[in-house]
Amino acid sequence: MLKMFLPNEHVESIFEIRPSELKEKGIKGVVTDLDNTLVAWDQRDATPEIVEWFKLMKDNGIQVTIISNNNENRVTTFSEPLNIPFIYSARKPLRQAFRKARKSMNLEKGEIAVVGDQLLTDVLGGNRANLYTILVVPIVQTDGFITRFNRKIERRLLNWFRKRGKISWEEQKWKK
């Protein structure tokens, strides 16, 4: 059961995710979280670097959809200026939003990577939907109330995985 919290891959930031490496894995689409994955949870708009990352994906034939547990206003305000498809109030880790994204992208399960900063929502949801999962280090060290609670559980899971040799990346990057 705990293996459902284990990502397929770990990266420092979204910018380490490159189209050529995705294509080597047969990935044609990315479902990404918004807050603390693309931008800080309290940052309204995309940075120029994120705009460029979306362009890079599109130019290389990689579809991107944003899936967020946040509300309609937050996700719409961020996504619409970028012309990026999105799903708000996703209720991750439930599978419904992941299925909806997969169908709208018209891709198979093996062709989609889920990218996010949380084990309890992004990784668990992506794994439950049988998708490739990539965990990123959260952009900022602050979080909303519910996420702060999730981070405590997350630290315990990461320590458990580390002690059993399931992960090897640096622990200090994940301490809050």
What pLDDT digit, counting tens, does each position of 149-171 carry?
A: 777 888 888 888 888 888 877 65
Residue entry with tokens 């459902």: 4
CA dihedral 161, 166, 169, 170 (to 10 degrees): 40
Cβ neighbours of residue 34 under 8 Å, at least 6 residues apart? 66, 68, 70, 74, 75, 78, 79, 86
pLDDT band at residue 55, thresholds of 50, 70 and 90? very high
- Mean of the pLDDT values across residues 77-100? 96
Judge whether 9 and 133 are in contact, CB under 8 Å. Answer: yes
pLDDT at 142: 64
Instruction: Please tell me the distance from the alpha carbon of residue 122 to that of residue 134, in angstroms, as a whole number.
Output: 9
CA dihedral 148, 160, 173, 144 (to 10 degrees): -10
Give one word for 121, left, alpha or beta, with left for phi > 0 and alpha for psi -120 to 50: alpha
pLDDT at 175: 42
Residue entry with tokens 């979306």: 54
Query: Residue 35's Cα: distance from chain center in Å?
Result: 9
Can you list the domains of the chain with their CATH numbers?
2-141 (3.40.50.1000)
Specify the pairing of strand 9-11 against strand 132-136. parallel
